[in-house]
Amino acid sequence: MGERVDGLKSFVRVVDALNDRIGRAVSWLTLAMVLIVFFVVVARYGFAWGRVWIQESYVWLHGVVFMLGAGYTLLHEGHVRVDVFYRGASIRYKAWVDLFGALFLALPMMIVVFIAALPYVEASWVRFEASREAGGLPGLFLLKTIIPIFCVLVGLQALALAGRAWLILKGEPEFLAEAQAKQAEIGA
């Protein structure tokens, strides 16, 4: 039984580290988006110059940040949640909510989106789909490929969330201590 718990702990830590690193790396793309938008505005209104591909680039970057950063956001509890009951609840209650939410809401949704996205992404790759706009960016198939990657990252983080909740419910000291520290931090 100890090996299973150690394996679960390792899984949670590895997934947390993966999504944390990806989220931190992808966050730099927001700086690129701001700089590109600034350039587009100055070029258009200052010099009456513009290109569709430049405008598409910041929209595509936003999609990349959103999809690849979703696992990071779940890790750091940044997704919208109804805190009326959750915020002030006990650690055990929160663990049960996280366990069931991850297993019966987040995971099934990621599986459905993943399955639905595969034919869509495959069709895009077959055609090496590019932007529909004249002068737009090539490689739309690459952007669409991020959809299943998003599902995998969020799905893994949901499993890690469920694993963490299970470990808390089982009274694992290091995870229980983290939960208690977080509870004290929010003042509940």
> What are the boundaries of each domain within the chain?
2-186
Global pTM reads: 0.90
Cβ partners under 8 Å of residue 123, min gap 6: 129
- Return the SS3 of 150: helix
Q: Does position 187 have pLDDT exceeding 70, yes or no?
A: no
Does residue 146 contact residue 64 with C-beta atoms inside 8 Å?
Answer: yes
Contacts of 153 (CB under 8 A, 6+ apart): 18, 19, 22, 68, 70, 71
- Give helix 2-41 / helix 140-169 axis angle, nearest 10°: 140
Is the per-residue pLDDT at 82 higher than 80?
A: no
User: Tens digit of pLDDT for each residue in 7-51?
Assistant: 999 999 999 999 999 999 999 999 999 999 999 999 999 999 999
C-alpha closest to that of 41 among 66, 27, 60, 58: 58
The Cα–Cα gap between 26 and 29 comes to: 5
pLDDT, greater one: 178 or 113: 113
> For position 18, what pLDDT does the model report?
98
85-95 pLDDT, tens digit each: 777 888 999 99
